[in-house]
Structure 1
Amino acid sequence: MKAEHINPFIISVCKIMKDICMLDLKMGKPFVKDDKYEGDSSLIKLGIIGALKGEVVLSLHYETALAVISKMMMMPVNEIDAIGQSAISELGNMIAGNAATVFANDSIIIDITTPDYCVGKDYAGSGKQVFCIPFESDIGELSINIFIEE
């Protein structure tokens, strides 16, 4: 993975989480892993097409996802229902859109597919290795998992 393909997502996750959820993220040490996730985690899957091809999965621990949805909806949320899924999917959309803009500023034109929400136990992995960037915040952990075809 090239840094110029990873950095736009790191920049975007930090910017959107700060702007939308008023959260400062602390980035952990990136690593390579299988595309498997905890059973109760909330996943927002986005496809990348255009000059780059691949997939990005934003993974949030269940409690973190509840806290993010609560911040987005400006009220306490106790379960992730259809409205919560829509809210957190929109967060993924904002992150992807921001990343696409960062790429475009470097003359790399990509499109992002519509976000697809699922929980970890229902995620049908492809068996690919992904580059995982973990983050910590005051409300919990999340990660962005990136696969770019080279």
Structure 2
Amino acid sequence: MRIDYIEPFLDAASSVLRDMLLVEDIQMGSPGLKSINQKIKGVSVIVGLAGSVEGSIVIDMDIATALFVASKLNFEEYTDFDDEETKEMVAATLTEVGNIIAGNFVTTLHAKGFIFDITPPAFIYGENMKISNKGSEALIVPFTLPDGKIIEVNIAIRERV
């Protein structure tokens, strides 16, 4: 992964999470690289990257954190992920968060002369599900909220050949 992708990605993820959740003391953990054949925590949003690059941005969290984020952003408390209406609100809210993070990232890189686009976000959930992006490693960055909840933001990106 090119080094000039990393800082704009970290800036986009941290500023969007802080601004949207209205929480200043979100702690960004140490970034690390992982194989992209990993089990999701329970709820994930995936935004594809296309154009001169290929890859994806994944926002991954457990169900309790997803309910917390949706509650915070919609000013309404969601507690039961098994309720279909709640699930739809959580999906709509989190896909918008993913879209904004990816949009900020791509906008910053467009200003630096990189040309690529994002796909509409996809929402997935479930137990024992894995995300795979053949032949790529992902930069994984955990963000810890003040109450200990963790949101992992991942990016796997490579030049299109």
Q: Above 0.5 in TM-score?
A: yes
1:130 aligns with 2:130: no
Structure with the larger strand share: 2
Is structure 2 residue 154 aligned with structure 1 residue 145?
yes
Specify the alignment match of 1:103 in structure 2. Answer: 109
TM-score scaled by structure 2?
A: 0.83
Q: Between Structure 1 and Structure 2, how many residues are aligned?
A: 149
* Cα distance change, pair 79–94 in 1 and its aligned pair in 2 (3 A): farther
Give the alignment of 1:1-150 within 5 angstroms.
1-24=1-24, 25-35=26-36, 36-38=38-40, 40-80=41-81, 81-119=87-125, 121-127=128-134, 128-139=136-147, 140-150=149-159
- Tell me the distance in 2 between the aligned counterparts of 1:124 and 1:52: 19
Deviation at 1:63, TM superposition (A): 1.6
Gaps of 5+ in 2: 82-86
Report the TM-score when normalising by structure 1. Answer: 0.89
Structure 1 residue 72, shift from structure 2 partner: 1.0
Cα distance, 1:56 vs structure 2: 1.1
Distance apart, 1:125 and its partner CA = 2.1
Query: What secondary structure sits across from 1:149 in the alignment?
Result: strand
**Percent sequence identity over aligned pairs:** 26
- Letter of the 2:117 partner, please give it: D
Please report the RMSD computed on the Cα atoms of aligned residues, expressed in angstroms.
1.8
Q: CA deviation at 1:130?
A: 1.6
Q: 2:80 aligns to what SS in structure 1? A: coil
SS at match of 2:13: helix
**Shift of the alpha carbon at 1:61?**
2.3
The DSSP-based 3-state class of the residue aligned with 1:125 is strand
